[in-house]
Amino acid sequence: MAKDVESAEQGRGFSAKDYHDPPPAPLIDAEELTKWSFYRALIAEFIATLLFLYVTVLTVIGYRVQTDPEKNTVDPNCGGVGILGIAWAFGGMIFVLVYCTAGISGGHINPAVTFGLFLARKVSFIRAIMYMVAQCLGGICGCGLVKAFQKTYYNEYGGGANMLQHGYNKGTGLGAEIIGTFVLVYTVFSATDPKRNARDSHVPVLAPLPIGFAVFMVHLATIPITGTGINPARSFGAAVIYNKDEAWDDQWIFWVGPFIGAFIAAFYHQYILRAAAIKALGSFRSNA
């Protein structure tokens, strides 16, 4: 009976599948380099990452100034925004910036997110590399603005650089970055899933909200461990401008961890939840 109904629907021109997966992006797409939309997307990623680092690093330094009794002579008992406020600054800025740039560049603002989407064939290799360059340059310029406005405080309070905190070893820091980035990139894939978007029309509008909230939650958990990287452009930009040994000692953790986390998230979503491997095998068998 079910087959009869399905056949009847197909005969009337309906498809049982109410969505269509976009075709995979070509690995190398040189034609992108001739389009203004490509360079517009790079500018959007650069400016978004610049603003992200400017607001968040300024929040971190402001918190440390407020909690230093020698500097805060107005109210020595003031606790500042606290870890909760810092986490809100990071999550809130991602929510705002993804909302603003999603329609232009996709709103990556993070090399790990770009890497995960590249693995899933959502962006080409050329676009992925250029996005990462734009994001890292934006991170450097964003931290540079903070230092330009508050040079003394910037140098005195660590420049917002990610560092492995006392009491934690490198393995713990690496694990925290892997899991934190997995949460973020998995959320990105889920919020932008074409199947889900077709079923729930409000999902595309709300996509920046869960992504920003994921960043907020991860910061709450991992600020005490690594200061929370989960974004190589954020960690690299702060390290370049602060440029002291402690900022570079564990810099590899903030690249290797996020890239591993992004890889696991891409594999989990594409090949387990979406069963891309099984679908590809089924297509191969049907064509054989």
247 vs 12, more confident = 247
Q: At what angle do helices 253-267 and 232-242 cross, to 10 degrees?
A: 170
Over the stretch 168-180, which tens digit does the pLDDT of each residue have? 999 999 999 999 9
Over the stretch 97-108, which tens digit does the pLDDT of each residue have? 999 999 999 999
CA distances from 159 to 83, 224, 237 (A): 16, 16, 10
On the CB side of 230, how many CA atoms lie within 13 Å of its CA? 31
Whole-structure pTM value? 0.85
The per-residue pLDDT for 205 is: 63
* Cβ-contact 114, 42 below 8 angstroms: no
* Cβ-contact 161, 239 below 8 angstroms: yes
Please give the span between the terminal C-alpha atoms of the chain, in angstroms, as a whole number: 29
Over the stretch 267-276, which tens digit does the pLDDT of each residue have? 999 989 877 5
Amino acid at 117: L
Residue 278 lies in a domain: no
- Whether the pLDDT of residue 111 is over 90: the answer is yes
Instruction: Supply the mean pLDDT for the chain.
Output: 86
Residues contacting 12, CB < 8 A, separation 6+: none
Separation of alpha carbons 192 and 108, rounded Å? 12
The per-residue pLDDT for 87 is: 96
* Angle subtended at Cα 22 by Cα 2 and Cα 96, rounded to the nearest 5 degrees: 115
Over the stretch 45-62, which tens digit does the pLDDT of each residue have? 999 999 999 999 999 998
Q: Taking residues 230-250, what's their average pLDDT?
A: 95
- Whether the pLDDT of residue 192 is over 60: the answer is yes
Domain total of the chain: 1
Residues in the chain: 288
The per-residue pLDDT for 281 is: 47
Question: Which parts of the chain fold into alpha helices (H)?
Answer: 2-11, 36-66, 82-101, 111-119, 125-149, 151-156, 170-191, 194-199, 203-206, 208-226, 232-242, 245-248, 253-267, 276-287
Residue 277 lies in a domain: no
Separation of alpha carbons 158 and 140, rounded Å? 15
Domain around 201:
30-272
* Cβ-contact 108, 131 below 8 angstroms: yes
State both tokens at 288: 């054989």
Residues contacting 87, CB < 8 A, separation 6+: 216, 217, 219, 220, 223
Q: Taking residues 198-226, what's their average pLDDT?
A: 84
- The single residue listed with the structure tokens 């603005």 is 145
Residue 65 lies in a domain: yes
The per-residue pLDDT for 14 is: 40
Residue 204 lies in a domain: yes
- The single residue listed with the structure tokens 């002579």 is 73
The per-residue pLDDT for 38 is: 95
Q: What is the 3-state secondary structure (H, E, C) of 75-112?
A: CCCCCCCHHHHHHHHHHHHHHHHHHHHCCCCCCCCCHH
Q: What is the CATH number of the domain that holds 54?
A: 1.20.1080.10
* Angle subtended at Cα 205 by Cα 107 and Cα 101, rounded to the nearest 5 degrees: 20
* Cβ-contact 123, 42 below 8 angstroms: no
Residue 36 lies in a domain: yes
Residues contacting 80, CB < 8 A, separation 6+: 62, 63, 64, 65, 66, 67
Residue 5 lies in a domain: no
